[in-house]
Amino acid sequence: MRRRQGFTLVELLVSVALIVFIMVILSEAFSASMTAFRLLKGVGDMDARLRTASNLLRNDLTADHFEGKKRLSDPNFWAEGPPREGFFRLFHGSLLKQTAGSAYFQECDDGSGDSLPVNRAADHVLHFTAKRRGNNRGDFFTGQVPATSPLLGVSTNFFNQPIDARYQDVAGTYVSQWAEIAYFLQANGASAAGATPLFSLYRRQRLVLPNTLDANTNDPVKMTPIPAAAATMYNDLSLLTAGGNLAFNNPSDLAVPDRRLSSYMPVTDSSGNPTNGDLILTDVLSFEVRVIVLTSAGGPSTPSALHSLPAGSFVDGNNPSFGAAKVFDTWTDQASTSPIANIDYSSWATAGTTISLPLKAQVLALAVTIRVYDFKTEQTRQITIIQDM
């Protein structure tokens, strides 16, 4: 009997077919694993971005906002009158809308393709003062000023002591425990799936001088006045212009509304790039801020939009251009010390006046929801922060 010297043609074809079949299976498995890895990486990247933003937001919200240890959740917050130092302001630009295609607070498709309606807000603004605790340089806010600025600890106050000269020893860097901070969205021109507009989340920080006795004086013996033309060199500081000079803010000044940031949008250079607004997140679908207040039954409410809270109209009537906007503000009962206006805010507690903000709810916490979109995975991801106030 003759021995076989090799495989038959049929056997070779069958083996090749099996190999090709196995290779197809392996290729599909590899492709599926790469897709899963890409999706997981996209989700991980979005989580990391949201985590960074939430940590920054938490640090700012947990800081002191007023004199001493005064908190929005204090039972006697309103009974004691408005804060003497600092402020806390929450702005809702528009009502909840059902209109498809609106860029603002609405129910709409978030671009994820799941056709599930979601709330989204693009005109909510958090605006407040923050005071950090501690005595180390790293515990303070820092900002850039001219290297030869007279604010860098060279001036003395009426007691012949330096103006908060702690850590004012680095040329071009000013250090303060206090800062005026705003979180807001700005359209970036991009769109998610379904033509839903996307935004960028910015954080704008301006340092507040703890003492302005000499900084705003017109006595050149104490400190040479800084001309208004130098304003762009002090973008990191909270200030106004008056009489041709810069007028810097202290924490008591900022209790008065017209001394604060009037425009949240960051100052831009000739190329349109923000110069003093820090970019926190890109491709943001929604930045929604709701409040949790103490109800008449003595317990916390569900997270609510300002429009849904009870007790009167708390629109900033001094700014009628806000239209349907709702504003929560700690306000003031003092006359304005602003060099550009002299408004008497003593009627802040009187409902129905043009500048009254009668909402005196005890704010227990804030619920901040941020939603971002990822172009690679065409998915959305969100995080909600519940922060005691």
Q: According to the model, what pLDDT value does residue 274 have?
A: 61
Select the more confidently predicted residue: 263 or 93: 93
Alpha helix (H) ranges present in the chain? 9-62
- Percentage of the chain exceeding pLDDT 70: 69
95: CB partners within 8 A, 6+ apart: 105, 307, 324
pLDDT band for position 97 (cuts 50, 70, 90) = very low
Q: According to the model, what pLDDT value does residue 17 have?
A: 87
From 376, 179, 369, select the one nearest 261 (Cα to Cα).
179
- Percentage of the chain exceeding pLDDT 90: 13
- Joined tokens for residue 377: 């995975």
Q: Is 313 a residue whose pLDDT tops 50?
A: no
Q: Is 167 a residue whose pLDDT tops 80?
A: no
Q: Is 129 a residue whose pLDDT tops 90?
A: yes
Mean pLDDT, residues 367-379: 85
Q: Is 220 a residue whose pLDDT tops 70?
A: no
Of 94-98, 145-149, 269-273, which has the strongest mean pLDDT?
A: 145-149
pTM: 0.80
From 287, 280, 372, select the one nearest 52 (Cα to Cα).
280
Select the more confidently predicted residue: 342 or 139: 139
Q: Is 249 a residue whose pLDDT tops 80?
A: yes
Q: According to the model, what pLDDT value does residue 112 have?
A: 46
Q: According to the model, what pLDDT value does residue 231 have?
A: 81
Q: According to the model, what pLDDT value does residue 63 have?
A: 93
pLDDT band for position 346 (cuts 50, 70, 90) = low
End-to-end CA distance of the chain: 96
Of 19-33, 119-133, 274-288, 305-319, which has the strongest mean pLDDT?
A: 119-133
Q: Which of 37-46, 107-116, 297-306, 308-317 has the lowest mean pLDDT?
A: 107-116
Q: Is 61 a residue whose pLDDT tops 90?
A: yes
From 294, 257, 160, 266, select the one nearest 206 (Cα to Cα).
266
Q: What values do phi and psi take at 385, rounded to 5?
A: -110, 125
